[in-house]
Structure 1
């Protein structure tokens, strides 16, 4: 099922396990006296209640032959577990008696199951004896083992609650801009193309085109509230299609055109985009600008469709369109692009004597 087709009603239940935490401390005096205990013999701390169950710390001077040379320590569940047992996570520490700060030696982050089969968890190689006896963990024939424990009491699920899922409607921004253009509401700029006049909005044009931004808000921008710009050498239908693209990011429908007419329209739109979106070819009758004609040399077997008039105060962007022909028929329309900063000294380098 697609995301847009998902049901609007959402029902949520949450699980937040209940836990109880505690710290067990086993202060062992007479460390040297316990070294004589046989393998597997241990001493046990008093029991501590955590999570409604009793726990203790086991201490082995020597757990087995395999762990010889190390002391061992374990956390033990003293209570008879109910059901399948109880989950708990814990760490085992030694207290640095010089600083009063304990150091974690065993950190059991993942909860372990304590039950009748496995009532103890810990380490048979808790600390090497040689290291312990040369450390501040052992002072005055005394060591202190600490255990921080977190007991999972249960995993209750919350009652079912219904959450209203907000459906975000699809964006209608482009359609709104199209309607704004077609209705010519609150236009603040007019374009005269032959015998037709088109209204538009300066801020939209400047947002979509650095050329329009320079023309409308740059140093030579007309300060009048409603300026009229005359667009030369362009058909009204082409300019109307260009405005439609600027406002909607879409080309207008051309289903009613024949295939040759479509190619012709695309060709003229490339030229219009070159003039109005990537460079400046719009001549303001009230503000003459110093311009020059620039164009890259076409490839062999093609001819240029347009050259571009560029005011010297803006960054130069060039998109040059060519037709590739084969025995008189158009095979493809090819474009290339380049960019130069506003340095008028490069204009002579870009100028072609014969197009």
Structure 2
């Protein structure tokens, strides 16, 4: 028993070793003194019996495992809301726009538009059993407005950015306080500015307080060789009649451009 205990102690002290790829030797750098194993039952006739417990661990090769194999599809929340508008399931409010009926959901409209919130849930809210009548907007524009409120995107028939449709959409967005749609219309209108449309677009921007679109129109009109052709259009005549003070700002911008060129 004493020899066994002594051997166990010797084994634990000297015989445990971990080999690693970083090691620069193939052996064990320490040896056991002969005096420490004399009398051991494992030493007989100058022959030493060695029992080795060898544990082999395989390195985990995580680099070979594709960790991002789970594909998460993009959000389709806007599609679900678009389907809800299209199907009309659960709709609790009806609009009649120039004789065309549109069904919608009060809670969606209220959370997306402060004007709808006041109309549907405010002190002067419309009667839930009656249609809300809108006669001063084209059905196509109101349909596009509802589509944006539900999906936060423009319908396909408005994505070409035609100036007339975008102008009507901007008016609707401003009327119902849908700010992101208003800014989106501003950007599309600013990208479509030309000699024929700049005056009407500027008048619209002035009327609905669209400062960024207003500035883009003034810069276009004041750019070299543009003011003359613009002044010949019917839109410019309407602009001068409806917003006479805007002409001074255009001329001031022209003067600034010429000063910058001459300096």
Task: Tell me the TM-score normalized by structure 1.
Answer: 0.37
Higher share of residues assigned helix: 2
Structure with the bigger RCO (C-alpha within 8 Å, sep 6+) is 1
